[in-house]
Structure 1
Amino acid sequence: MSSSETATGGGAGAEAAPPHPVPTANRARPAAGWSLLWSELSVLFRRWRTWAMLAALAAIPILIAIAVRLTGGARAGRGPAFLDQITANGLFVGFTALVVCVPLFLPLTVGVVAGDTIAGEASHGTLRYLVIAPAGRLRLLAVKYAGAAAFCIAGTLVVIVAGSAIGAILFPIGPVTLLSGTQVGPLDAFGRLLMIGAYVVVSLLGLCAIGLFFSTLTDVPVGAMAATIVLSVVSQVLDQLPQLEALHPWLFSHYWFGFADFLRDPVSWDAFGSNALLQLGYVAVFGALAVGRFTTKDILS
């Protein structure tokens, strides 16, 4: 009888005490998420395609600087903004390169990366293995979006660094006269260039969410890439039509060139706030659409 009571007591104690694997599993889930993020970034930045796109982005400021150097400069008011200022100050290579890259080249490369997030895994037959990992579908979507956002940062930094480096090599570096007429030193000017870069990254976050959503709709990555890129072009075309002026503030590309406020003294944050709020709205809407589609999708590949 005593042995039975002992066995019963042992059983009750075993039921009352939490099993050891539960806290271990709870700790493993965040670890699995970070591991998945690290794996995603590692795969993304080990691809030849990624480095080819970054090299193409770096080539744009280099080509601009070489062209200006060989031709002796541009006439005032001709060409992209700040182009006529490059011969006097090499820092303007970075500013000009961002103006050139924002409407086409950066959205093009971001569209390729964002459109490939989910559809690329499906086309390679690896998506079904990822969704059964401890991270789960929602965390996989978040990791894929984070990878696309990381490419936005990398691409923008490549343009800034390549432009500043080639500008310093081919042209003199000196104080920069802001749009408000105030003159600042080269270090302050480079800091403002980095602020513009941050503005550009925020501007592309909405496009990343759109590409992620399109990527959940198909198993063909080229289709998702093309849809994302075409939509970025359409948004910019619509933004130029005065007949659709009421629609302009709702277009995700509307504030893409609002970074001129960072070249004033004092800096105005109005455009940045409006742009960030707009991009957040696109991230929320298309992120929710991506979650709704991906969580109910039958994964066959």
Structure 2
Amino acid sequence: MSSRESVAARSSAPGGWGTLTLLGNELSVQFRRWRTWAMLGALALIPVLLGVAIRFVGGSDPGRGPAFLDQITDNGLFVGLAALTVAIPLFLPLTVSVTAGDAIAGEASHGTLRYLLIAPAGRIRLLLVKYLSAVVFCVAATLTVVLVGSIVGAILFPIGPVTLVSGAQVSTGEGLLRLLAVAAYASISLIGLSAIGLFLSTLTTVPIGAMAATAILAVATQIVGAIPQLDALHPWLFTDRWLDFGDLLRSPVIWDSFAANALLQAGYVVVFGAAAVLRFATKDVLS
């Protein structure tokens, strides 16, 4: 019996235990893949390269380059923030597209999908587990950028009280908590894209097609968001609030952007999650 068949058998446990078993196995498989660690390693290189470049070449002039770049030499914690600003438009969506786009199409291409759909494992349960696995990767990816950035910043630059965008200063400990809140914001920003990737993954048995379509859609949506003539569409784009985490760096914290972003992403999760369920429920994968 293959590992996937064995998992399908164990996932037939009643209620939530079967779902947790399937999710645990899915996460185990995902984080044993060289591909996953290669993507996380590539994301970790962003703050490393950024920190090394600033340390040995010098800082940038205020207002030039990514946000927070000119503040790195004063406080190493800004390496994580600057790296996250660089990663959000392209690198994070690209890695999430690979994970979400491969979710169903990858199993179909390897011929293991039928074993995961042995009733009572169920199609909806499988979709839920695949989506939750993609969300876990979103969290791991953003934390990789932020935590590696903080470590690199602590090694290469002085660490101390953090000056917020509102001008107030907070302790180093609170600055780290604000940094984690920004990472949480970025993770939430990617859950809508994960739902889109999962839906696209149900449409094909070619994983690279779903991955590419998801990544291209993320880039195209950001292009639409940069065109002033289409500003009526901007509030509806899942990328519209990706970089609006500045309110988490004010004193006191303003949670309006966080809540608005979460609501926007939840709308995409509901719409594309329902589309994925409708598509997958009628898909012939057992023949």
* Letter aligned with residue 221 of structure 1: P
Write out aligned runs for 1:1-301 (5 A).
28-300=14-286
Question: Does the 8 A contact of 2:12 with 2:119 survive in 1?
Answer: no
Q: Which residue of 1 aligns with 2:5?
A: none
* Letter aligned with residue 283 of structure 2: K
Q: Which residue of 1 aligns with 2:4?
A: none
Identity %: 64
Question: Does the 8 A contact of 1:175 with 1:184 survive in 2?
Answer: yes
Query: What's the CA shift string for 1:5-60, capped at 9, x where partnerless?
Result: xxxxxxxxxxxxxxxxxxxx996343221111011000000000000000000010
Question: Does the 8 A contact of 2:100 with 2:131 survive in 1?
Answer: yes
Q: What is the aligned residue count?
A: 277
Instruction: Give the Cα–Cα distance (whole angstroms) in 2 for the partners of residues 182 and 90 of structure 1.
Output: 18
Query: What's the CA shift string for 1:120-139, capped at 9, x where partnerless?
Result: 00000000111114321000
Question: Does the 8 A contact of 2:12 with 2:18 survive in 1?
Answer: no
Instruction: Give the Cα–Cα distance (whole angstroms) in 2 for the partners of residues 215 and 209 of structure 1.
Output: 10
- The alpha carbon displacement at 1:289 in A equals 0.2
- The alpha carbon displacement at 1:177 in A equals 1.0
Secondary structure at 2:214 match in 1: helix
Question: Does the 8 A contact of 1:91 with 1:163 survive in 2?
Answer: yes
Instruction: Give the Cα–Cα distance (whole angstroms) in 1 for the partners of residues 122 and 286 of structure 2.
Output: 16
* Letter aligned with residue 149 of structure 1: V
Instruction: Give the Cα–Cα distance (whole angstroms) in 1 for the partners of residues 69 and 211 of structure 2.
Output: 31
Greater Cα radius of gyration, structure 1 or 2: 1
* Letter aligned with residue 299 of structure 1: V
* Letter aligned with residue 259 of structure 2: G
- TM-score normalised to the size of structure 2? 0.94
- The alpha carbon displacement at 1:300 in A equals 4.2
Secondary structure at 1:66 match in 2: helix
* Letter aligned with residue 64 of structure 1: L
- TM-score normalised to the size of structure 1? 0.90
Which segment is superposed worse, 74-83 or 217-226? 74-83
Q: Which residue of 1 aligns with 2:7?
A: none
User: Could you list the runs of 4 or more consecutive aligned residues of structure 1 that deviate by over 3 angstroms after TM superposition?
Assistant: none
5+ residue gaps in structure 2?
1-10
* Letter aligned with residue 205 of structure 1: I
* Letter aligned with residue 86 of structure 1: I
Question: Does the 8 A contact of 1:32 with 1:134 survive in 2?
Answer: no
Instruction: Give the Cα–Cα distance (whole angstroms) in 2 for the partners of residues 139 and 26 of structure 1.
Output: 11
Question: Does the 8 A contact of 1:29 with 1:135 survive in 2?
Answer: no
* Letter aligned with residue 46 of structure 1: R
Q: Which residue of 1 aligns with 2:6?
A: none
* Letter aligned with residue 223 of structure 2: V
Query: What's the CA shift string for 1:222-270, capped at 9, x where partnerless?
Result: 0000000000001100001010010000000000011000011111111
- The alpha carbon displacement at 1:213 in A equals 0.1
Instruction: Give the Cα–Cα distance (whole angstroms) in 1 for the partners of residues 283 and 250 of structure 2.
Output: 49
Instruction: Give the Cα–Cα distance (whole angstroms) in 1 for the partners of residues 158 and 218 of structure 2.
Output: 36
